[in-house]
Structure 1
Amino acid sequence: MTEFKLDAIDRKILEILQADAGTPNIELAERVALSPSPCSRRVKNLEDQGYISRRVTLLDPGKVGLPVSVFIQVTLNHQIKKQLEGFEREIAKWPEVMECYLMAGDVDYLIRLVVPDLHAYQEFLDQKLTQLEGIDHIKSSFSLKQVRYKTEFPLDHLAPD
């Protein structure tokens, strides 16, 4: 299998689709100076190669009734494979968990949670998170204001053609 290399057109396609995944193929083709068919094939190839994992619509959390963001640091009592896998399996089931990262450093996991209010956070804590076995410590911080949020990765570090 030959190694796939991004060229300038592929990078431009990725930049455009990161900013607006709903960009119609005809507009995308015009913006990257291709005809629609080759442009569509390039997008399909970028998907097949794993550069595009999925296309989504980003919602305003306040408008959908989830204005509270909570960042939760979780420390387990043992970092053994079985306990890590069990924690990750349970966390993946909970829709209010937007992100969860296994960390290096003072905590084992960092979770970003969205909830409608503090009562919902307390219910999450009482009925879900604290019910998991092996948790040693939980520390929560509440976002007062979102200063920056983006989903676009910078692509300028990619090697030129």
Structure 2
Amino acid sequence: MTISLDEIDRRILAELMRDARQPNTQLANAVGLSPPPCWQRVRRLEKAGIVRGYSARLDMAALGSPETALIEVSLGDHKNYPLEAVCESIAAIPEVLEVHITTGEFDCFVKVAVASNRDLEEFLREKLYKIEGIRSSRSSLSLRCFKSEQSVLP
């Protein structure tokens, strides 16, 4: 279902991106509506699939995984090891935050949360490299993240 977004819809989306836990009354006030039409608009945005859900952002360092590894992965043979199946296997690993099929030299991009360099090595040897079809990878550790968003308003 495709819907046309007006300025109020965009303000609602911006507010929800800023703080999805705010009460409807606060959201309505922020966007210049009374609570009932604001609630109806939010429900319409959810039903249209524009708002796909709500989640908490976790501090990975506080949870014991302060390092972020960025890994580019190449497959050896696309006929015997379909890219989607390999990516689904990678995505099933708990440390994996994101998996993207990509263009260019590598077939997919993987973002992983680990506790240390040693844990990254263990992830690569004991988990990633045991997935059939993976030919090679190139890893980088993120030194510092300046922006981390799940979505943007076009």
Q: Write the distance in 2 (CA, Å) between the matches of 1:25 and 1:81.
A: 51
Match of 2:25 in 1: 26
Match of 1:113 in 2: 112
1:137 counterpart = 2:136: yes
Q: TM-score, normalised by structure 2?
A: 0.92
1:79 counterpart = 2:78: yes
Match of 1:97 in 2: 96
Match of 1:35 in 2: 34
**3-state SS in 1 of match to 2:42:** helix
Q: Write the distance in 1 (CA, Å) between the matches of 2:142 and 2:94.
A: 19
Superposed structure 1 runs of 4+ greater than 6 Å apart:
none
2:75 touches 2:136 (CA, 8 Å); kept in 1?
A: yes
Q: TM-score, normalised by structure 1?
A: 0.88
1:19 touches 1:152 (CA, 8 Å); kept in 2?
A: no
**3-state SS in 2 of match to 1:28:** helix
1:29 touches 1:36 (CA, 8 Å); kept in 2?
A: yes
Structure 1: segments with no counterpart, 5+ residues: 156-161
Query: Which has the higher mean CA deviation after the structures are superposed, 138-147 or 104-113?
Result: 138-147
User: What are the residue-to-residue correspondences of 1:52-71 with 2, within 5 Å?
Assistant: 52-71=51-70
Work out the percentage of aligned pairs sharing the same amino acid. 36
Q: CA deviation at 1:64?
A: 1.7
Q: CA deviation at 1:38?
A: 1.2
Q: CA deviation at 1:82?
A: 5.0
User: In the comparison of the two structures, how many residue pairs are matched?
Assistant: 154
Q: CA deviation at 1:143?
A: 1.1
Q: Write the distance in 2 (CA, Å) between the matches of 1:119 and 1:28.
A: 45
CA shift in 2, pair 1:98/1:62, >3 Å: same
Structure 2: segments with no counterpart, 5+ residues: none
Q: Write the distance in 2 (CA, Å) between the matches of 1:59 and 1:122.
A: 23
**3-state SS in 2 of match to 1:73:** strand
Tell me: higher relative CO, structure 1 or 2? Use CA pairs within 8 A at least 6 residues apart.
Answer: 1
Q: CA deviation at 1:78?
A: 2.0
**3-state SS in 2 of match to 1:138:** strand
**Alignment RMSD (CA, Å):** 1.7
Q: CA deviation at 1:81?
A: 8.1
